[in-house]
């Protein structure tokens, strides 16, 4: 045992000293998590420390464990990887290493440790916590510390944050980094798509995931790959024939390219590794396809974190500090998880145990259990993938009398994921024997046909038409804001009758919601509206009642943070400049607030809160203070986000001018309006995969009404429904109830906005103290 160099510092009672570390493989978003932990710790009146280079830093101690200050983590949200380093440390796997780590922590007076890493890192953390009392005892018996000195360290607080690109941890839907990694994969596959199409080639793409096929499956879902290989769900015994059969069929339908995605840990049912080259040989030799292999490798860990990971890292980092402060010696160590849209604490030991069981089940060829142990969402995605890829499974085909003509319509502004949802709905219809019908250009396009003009605004969608839509932005079937009331209920009803439309799948934002509401309410007068209708919310503004998430909103946030990152860089280079950036969102401040969390905005101005003079004066004073402290390497550009409808008087330009005028020459100010850039180009993978999942679920919901009479349908409140995420659940809500109880019709948004309190976190982490508006 090395010599004792310091006694533990004496601490004011109640003041915690919280350390954060990143461990295992690096993942995008880890730096954002460190920033959130450090700032929330300081904001809570505690001392923050960072352990550099993972457990290695804990074992080595000294300068590897550093006191962290507010400015130290400035700008970290937009950095990739982890800025405090990570390592794999063999010494920590031994008790001697952990004893040394305990000694170093006590020397710095640290009594809580937040570990951001994968299952290995969290297993190590849990072991450390379990052993802690005996390690402390040993440090006393070996006279490293006195009994008096270790008194404040009887209990070690551990909190886990799951940082890993693989998304291999049980109990949480997403790990910090997994969606960024998926974004890198999808970008690569989208690029490869173009060359594959040009040469009619096949590509076999290997992605990361030793025991977890999440990345491979999600990449398959979001890019519309022809076949995927996952460790948890190996292909059938005769997979060679099955795969070739599916690809041959896709080619015979007219597809010019083939994409097969292989997880690095893929194997057959007997655990024989399925190497990308083996797949390539099959495609070349059996199908005669010109086939190439691409191994994506470390590109998947690269780049900065996507919007979702920045938000997740920030919210979970804040929650981890709160969990430390809430804990008592009897509280089991938590791991911070996310279930659908809800941040939750779960027991760390159980999460690690369940995760290890997956690898064990795979090792025993018990793939049913392996799939069960993954979250319910995983099987749902797997089923959605299969049902939208293999279009000729006789077991899935409905008898002729149960097949329906399903109208698919887009309403409102375009949003990322609309096409992916339409593609999934089309593929689902074809698998089940329904007829998918595109009602082009919203209700005006659809109704226009009623005049018996020879216009093809109503068209059966073929598999090949929809096949290329997985990654396309905008709206391939055209969209329009006009409501049925504007087109005429009579005309709308006639058009539905004329084309024998048995059900409607409506994709769009608040207008789409309004349109379905109108049709539902007009059912008493029009028999044609007594059909099942589902709306899938799709809008950048995320303001549709009945859901906390609309497809397209993630694409918008990603476009916005890319824009803001570029502006921030310019602001930093120009020294002492603040940009006031105007965001979309209508009367909902969602986009501004979540983008604010994701870029580390100085302040966010929303319509919900409004803007007042005191607020502006306060922010100017704060900016002066912050710019005065901004020196050397810690300098970073500053951004204020203002929603387009936050105030009628204080426009984005006026605010920028007021700031400039009132800065007293201490800083400069500019404004920027990204406008339609926020609709995004290529939809984000999250919007694409959720579009597929919700698209399939919506069609399954519609199928429940097959065989019912129009009056029975009209009498069932769920026959006009909105699909969405509410808290920890994906659910359908009856339109009537959502319209009457949950909708703020005047401002076109939900009455209760789940994200409203998140603006407090933006303020806490930017150090903003808001004045109260007394008026």
Residue nearest to ligand ATP (CB): 120
The gap between the terminal CA atoms of the chain, to the nearest Å, is 65
Q: Supply the minimum distance, in Å, between the C-beta of residue 28 and ligand ATP.
A: 12
The string of DSSP codes covering 312-346 is HHHHHHHHHHHHHHH--TTSPPEEEEEETTEEEEE
Site residues for ligand ATP, 521-550, by CB under 6 A, read: none
From the list 112-120, 228-236, 406-414, 474-482, the region that binds ligand ATP by CB under 6 A is 112-120
Choice between 115 and 587, CB closer to ligand ATP: 115
Shortest distance in whole angstroms from residue 108 CB to ligand ATP? 19
Q: Which of 37, 89, 406, 672 binds ligand ATP (CB under 6 A)?
A: 89
As a whole number of angstroms, the distance between CA 117 and CA 115 comes to 6
Window 649 to 688, contacts with ligand ATP (CB under 6 A): none
Q: For residue 23, what are its two tokens?
A: 């461990």
> Residue 25: helix, strand or coil by DSSP?
coil
- Shorter beta-carbon distance to ligand ATP: residue 123 or 170: 123
Of 29-37, 65-73, 111-119, 554-562, the window that binds ligand ATP (rule: CB under 6 A) is 111-119
327 within 8 A of 157, measured Cβ to Cβ:
yes
> Binding ligand ATP by CB under 6 A: which of 8, 24, 160, 231?
24
Q: Does residue 436 belong to the site contacting ligand ATP (CB under 6 A)? A: no
Q: Is 685 exposed, middle or buried (0-12, 13-18, 19+ CB in 10 A)?
A: buried
The CA distance from 724 to 397, in Å, is 27
Query: Does the footprint of ligand ATP cover residue 120 (CB under 6 A)?
Result: yes
Say whether residue 25 binds ligand ATP (CB under 6 A): yes
Q: Are strands 729-734 and 720-726 parallel, antiparallel or unpaired?
A: antiparallel
Q: How many residues bind ligand ATP (CB under 6 A)?
A: 18
CB atoms within 10 A of CB 363: 11
Closest-CA residue to 451 (of 487, 491, 408)? 491
Q: Are 173 and 338 in contact (CB under 8 A)?
A: yes
Which CB, 213 or 508, lies closer to ligand ATP?
213
Among 29, 85, 124, 724, binds ligand ATP (CB under 6 A): 124
With binding defined as CB under 6 A, does residue 104 bind ligand ATP?
no
Q: What is the DSSP string of 592-624?
A: HHHHHHHHT-SEEE-TTT---HHHHHHHHHHHH
Token couple for 392: 């000729």
Q: Tell me, rounded to whole angstroms, the distance of Cα 338 from its chain centroid.
A: 10
Residue reference for tokens 């420390």: 49
Q: Which part of the chain contacts ligand ATP (CB under 6 A), choosing from 20-28, 75-83, 194-202, 593-601?
A: 20-28
Beta strands at 458-460 and 603-605: parallel, antiparallel or unpaired: unpaired
Q: Which of 49, 52, 76, 92 binds ligand ATP (CB under 6 A)?
A: 92
Question: What's the closest the beta carbon of residue 34 comes to ligand ATP, in angstroms?
Answer: 16
Q: Does residue 600 belong to the site contacting ligand ATP (CB under 6 A)?
A: no
Residues between 376 and 405 that touch ligand ATP (CB under 6 A) = none
Q: Which stretch binds ligand ATP (CB under 6 A): 87-95, 504-512, 621-629, 703-711?
A: 87-95
Helix (H, G, I), strand (E, B) or coil at 240: helix
Task: Return the closest-CA partner of residue 33 out of 22, 46, 43.
Answer: 22
Interatomic CA distance for residues 426 and 408, integer angstroms: 9
Which CB atom, from 123 or from 172, has the smaller least distance to ligand ATP? 123
What's the closest the beta carbon of residue 179 comes to ligand ATP, in angstroms? 15
Find the binder of ligand ATP among 47, 79, 166, 465 (CB under 6 A).
Answer: 166
Measured from the CB atom, is 93 or 708 closer to ligand ATP?
93
**Candidate list 66, 88, 155, 660; residue touching ligand ATP; CB under 6 A:** 88
419 near 470, Cβ under 8 Å? yes
- Six token digits for residue 640: 């204020």
Catalytic residue, from 166, 193, 390, 502: name it.
166
State in angstroms the smallest separation of the CB of 113 from ligand ATP. 13
Q: How far is CA 363 from the centre of its chain?
A: 30
Q: Which of 123, 355, 480, 719 binds ligand ATP (CB under 6 A)?
A: 123
Asked if 127 is part of the footprint of ligand ATP (rule: CB under 6 A), the reply reads yes
* β-bridge pairing 112-117 and 17-22: parallel
Token pair for 86: 């990570």
Rounded distance between C-alpha atoms, residue 658 and residue 619, angstroms:
11
Which residue is associated with the tokens 């896709």? 250
CB atoms within 10 A of CB 295: 13
81 binds ligand ATP (CB under 6 A): no
Which CB, 127 or 624, lies closer to ligand ATP?
A: 127
Rounded CA gap, 178 and 352, in Å?
Answer: 18
Q: Which DSSP string do the residues of 628-685 spell out, in sequence order?
A: HH--GGG---EEEEEETTS-SSS-HHHHHHHHHHHTTTS-EEEEE--GGGGG-SSPPH
Q: Does 23 bind ligand ATP (CB under 6 A)?
A: yes
For residues 295 and 580, give the distance between their C-alpha atoms in angstroms, rounded to a whole number.
42
Which stretch, 31-39, 119-127, 456-464, 694-702, contacts ligand ATP (CB under 6 A)?
A: 119-127
Q: Is 55 in the site for ligand ATP (CB under 6 A)?
A: yes
The region of 122-130, 371-379, 532-540, 648-656 touching ligand ATP under the rule CB under 6 A is 122-130
Say whether 706 sits in a helix, a strand or coil: coil
* Least separation in angstroms between CB 84 and ligand ATP: 15
- CB of 51 vs ligand ATP, minimal distance in Å: 12
Q: Which is nearer to ligand ATP, 92 or 463 (CB)?
A: 92
Give the pair of three-digit tokens for residue 514.
Answer: 């309004």
| Closer of 20 and 592 to ligand ATP (Cβ) | 20
Which of residues 57, 61, 117, 724 is near ligand ATP by CB under 6 A? 117
Q: Does 214 bind ligand ATP (CB under 6 A)?
A: no
Q: Of 39-47, 121-129, 192-200, 495-503, which part binds ligand ATP (CB under 6 A)? A: 121-129
Nearer to ligand ATP, 157 or 479 (CB): 157
Question: Is the CB of 104 or the CB of 164 nearer to ligand ATP?
Answer: 164
**What are the beta bridge partners of residue 112?**
18, 157
Per CB under 6 A, 164 contacts ligand ATP: yes
Angstrom distance (rounded) from CA 79 to CA 602: 17
Gap between the Cα atoms of 767 and 42, Å rounded: 10
Q: Is 29 near ligand ATP (CB under 6 A)?
A: no
User: How many CB atoms lie under 10 A from the CB of residue 234?
Assistant: 22
Looking at the Cβ atoms of 130 and 377, the one nearer to ligand ATP is: 130
- Residue 488 touching ligand ATP (CB under 6 A): no
Candidates 17-25, 432-440, 474-482, 748-756: pick the segment binding ligand ATP (CB under 6 A): 17-25
The pair of structure tokens assigned to 712 is 């029975």
Task: Mark the segment that binds ligand ATP (CB under 6 A) among 116-124, 365-373, 566-574, 735-743.
Answer: 116-124
Question: In angstroms, rounded to a whole number, what is the distance separating the alpha carbons of residues 555 and 156?
Answer: 41
Q: Is 290 among the catalytic positions?
A: no
Based on CB atoms, which residue is closest to ligand ATP, 370 or 762?
A: 370
Q: Is 19 in contact with 300 (CB distance < 8 Å)?
A: no
CA distance linking residue 742 with residue 724, whole number of Å: 13
* Nearer of residues 25 and 478 to ligand ATP, judged by Cβ: 25
Binding of ligand ATP by 118 (CB under 6 A): yes
Q: What residue ranges bind ligand ATP (CB under 6 A)?
A: 23-25, 55, 88-89, 92-93, 117-121, 123-124, 127, 164, 166
- Residues with active-site annotation: 166
């Amino acid at each position: 045992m090395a010599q004792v160099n310091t006694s533990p510092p004496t601490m004011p009672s109640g003041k915690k000293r919280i350390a954060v570390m990143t461990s295992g493989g690096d993942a995008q978003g880890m730096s954002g998590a460190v920033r959130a932990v450090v700032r929330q710790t300081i904001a809570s009146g505690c001392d923050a420390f960072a352990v550099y280079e993972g457990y290695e830093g804990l074992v080595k101690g000294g300068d590897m464990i550093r006191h962290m200050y507010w400015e130290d983590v400035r700008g970290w949200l937009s950095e990739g990887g982890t800025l405090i380093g990570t390592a794999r440390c063999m010494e920590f796997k031994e008790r001697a290493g952990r004893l040394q780590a305990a000694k170093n922590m006590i020397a710095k007076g640290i009594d809580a440790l937040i570990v951001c890493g994968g299952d290995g890192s969290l297993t190590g953390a849990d072991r450390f916590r379990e052993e802690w009392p005996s390690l402390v005892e040993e440090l006393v018996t070996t006279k490293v510390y006195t009994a008096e000195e270790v008194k404040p360290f009887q209990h070690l607080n551990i909190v886990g944050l799951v940082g890993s690109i693989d998304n291999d941890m049980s109990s949480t839907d997403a790990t910090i980094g997994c969606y960024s990694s998926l974004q890198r994969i999808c970008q690569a596959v989208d690029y490869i798509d173009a060359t594959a199409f040009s040469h009619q080639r096949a590509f076999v793409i290997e992605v990361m995931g030793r025991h977890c096929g999440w990345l491979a499956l999600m990449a398959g879902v979001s890019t519309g790959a022809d076949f995927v290989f996952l460790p948890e769900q190996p292909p059938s015994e005769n997979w060679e024939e099955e795969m070739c059969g599916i690809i041959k069929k896709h080619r015979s339908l007219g597809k010019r390219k083939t994409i097969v995605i292989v997880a690095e840990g893929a194997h057959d049912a007997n655990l024989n590794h399925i190497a990308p080259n083996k797949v390539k040989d099959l495609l070349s030799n059996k199908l005669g396809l010109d086939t190439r292999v691409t191994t994506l490798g470390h590109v998947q860990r690269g780049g900065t974190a996507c919007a979702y990971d920045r938000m997740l890292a920030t919210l979970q980092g804040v929650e981890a500090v709160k969990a430390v402060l809430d804990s008592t010696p009897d509280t089991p160590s938590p791991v911070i998880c996310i279930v659908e849209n809800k941040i939750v604490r779960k027991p760390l030991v159980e999460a690690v145990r369940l995760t290890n069981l997956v690898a064990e089940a795979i090792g025993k060829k018990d793939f049913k259990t392996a799939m069960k142990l993954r979250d319910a969402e995983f099987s749902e995605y797997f089923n959605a993938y299969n049902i939208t890829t293999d279009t000729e499974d006789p077991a899935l085909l409905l008898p002729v009398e149960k097949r329906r003509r399903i109208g698919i319509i887009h309403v409102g502004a375009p949003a990322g994921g609309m096409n992916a949802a339409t593609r999934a709905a089309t593929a689902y219809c074809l698998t089940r024997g329904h007829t998918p019908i595109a009602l082009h250009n919203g209700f005006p396009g659809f109704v226009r046909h009623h005049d018996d003009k020879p216009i093809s605004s109503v068209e059966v969608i073929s598999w090949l038409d929809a096949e290329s839509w997985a990654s396309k932005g905008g709206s391939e079937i055209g969209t329009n804001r006009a409501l049925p009331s504007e087109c005429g209920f009579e005309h709308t009803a006639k058009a539905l009758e004329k084309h024998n439309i048995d059900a409607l799948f409506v994709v769009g934002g608040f207008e789409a919601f309004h349109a379905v509401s109108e049709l539902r309410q007009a059912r008493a007068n029009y028999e044609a509206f007594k059909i099942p209708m589902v709306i899938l919310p799709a809008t950048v503004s995320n303001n549709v009642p009945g859901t906390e998430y609309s497809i397209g909103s993630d694409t918008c946030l990603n476009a916005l943070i890319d824009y803001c990152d570029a502006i921030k860089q310019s602001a930093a280079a120009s020294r002492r400049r603040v940009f006031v950036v105007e965001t979309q969102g209508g009367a909902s401040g969602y986009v501004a607030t979540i983008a604010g969390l994701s870029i580390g905005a100085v302040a966010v101005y929303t319509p919900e809160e409004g803007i007042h003079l005191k607020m502006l004066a306060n922010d100017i004073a704060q900016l002066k203070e912050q710019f005065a402290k901004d020196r050397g390497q810690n300098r970073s550009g500053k951004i204020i986000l203002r929603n387009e409808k936050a105030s009628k008087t204080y426009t984005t330009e006026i605010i920028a001018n007021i700031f400039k005028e009132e800065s007293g020459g201490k800083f400069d100010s500019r404004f920027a309006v990204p406008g339609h850039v926020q609709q995004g180009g290529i939809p984000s993978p999250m919007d694409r995969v959720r579009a597929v999942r919700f698209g399939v679920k919506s069609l399954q919901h519609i199928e429940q009404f097959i065989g019912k009479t129009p009056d029975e349908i009209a009498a069932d409140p769920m026959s006009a429904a909105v699909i969405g995420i509410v808290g920890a659940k994906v659910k359908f809500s009856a339109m009537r109830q959502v319209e009457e109880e949950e909708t703020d019709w005047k401002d076109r948004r939900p009455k209760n906005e789940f994200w409203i309190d998140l603006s407090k976190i933006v303020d806490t982490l930017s150090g903003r103290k808001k004045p109260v508006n007394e008026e």
